[in-house]
Amino acid sequence: MRDRGNFDDATTRFYTACVVEAFDYLHARGIIYRDLKPENLLLDNRGYVKLVDFGFAKKLLVGRKTWTFCGTPEYVAPEIILNKGHDISADYWSLGVLMFELLTGTPPFTGPDPMKTYNIILKGIDAIEFPRNITRTATVLIKKLCRDNPAERLGYQKGGIRDIQKHKWFDGFNWEGLIGRTLTPPIIPHIRSVLDSSNFDDYPPDSEPLPQDDLSGWDADF
């Protein structure tokens, strides 16, 4: 995405659908994810998305909420900022943010520092100007996912996550093909073997020396 700038509707639809399926699996088991962002979506050898990094995930009983402040600033739902308690509806908020970022290259709520980002989030999605390249149906879906009131978000209502799958933006999308992995993904990584890491950025080795082993024996009777 960094190389391309942003994705078109079809590419965004495929990756969003992958996340919807992952959320369906997690939420059915009472697990909230709480850390959705492009960096946590990895492509497997066939180009299908794998959701990774479950450091903020939490098992939650039906009808219960949690108050832990966590997540990436640009993706944090308003009820988390306001410490009102949150549940799986926070994941649907982040899904709308992800759609916007995939379609434009930047998340809708972004400021020079986390506190300013949180203030922009609290002003709501209606205060955000949508670029012209986002279609009307995509705009409607994003705004339905990013409702200030968690109970009003698409996916959290009576129809559950099926309401997202049946939204007009997904018209014609082959959900069965996604589950059966018969769809051709928009990007298929070129890899030579299961150990090929060439698709990852290169980073210089850590310059700090490794700490020396402490052999003083201070902990012999610990």
pTM of this structure:
0.91
Residues with Cβ within 8 Å of residue 99, at least 6 apart in sequence: 12, 16, 138, 141, 142, 145
Residue 219 pLDDT class (50, 70, 90 cuts): confident
Query: Do 30 and 57 contact (CB within 8 A), yes or no?
Result: no
- Tell me: the pLDDT tens digits for 190-214? 999 989 999 988 888 888 888 888 8
Domain ranges of the chain: 9-179
Residue 35 annotated as catalytic: yes
What pLDDT was estimated at residue 212?
86
Percent share of the chain, pLDDT over 70? 100
Residue 13 pLDDT class (50, 70, 90 cuts): very high
What pLDDT was estimated at residue 113?
96
Residues with Cβ within 8 Å of residue 98, at least 6 apart in sequence: 16, 19, 36, 37, 38, 75
Burial class, 203, CB count within 10 angstroms (exposed 0-12 / middle 13-18 / buried 19+):
exposed
Distance CA 23, CA 150 (A): 16
Beta pairing class for 41-43 and 49-51: antiparallel
Find the radius of gyration of the CA atoms of the chain: 20
Q: Which of 3, 9, 24, 35 is catalytic?
A: 35
CATH architecture of 9-179: Orthogonal Bundle (1.10)
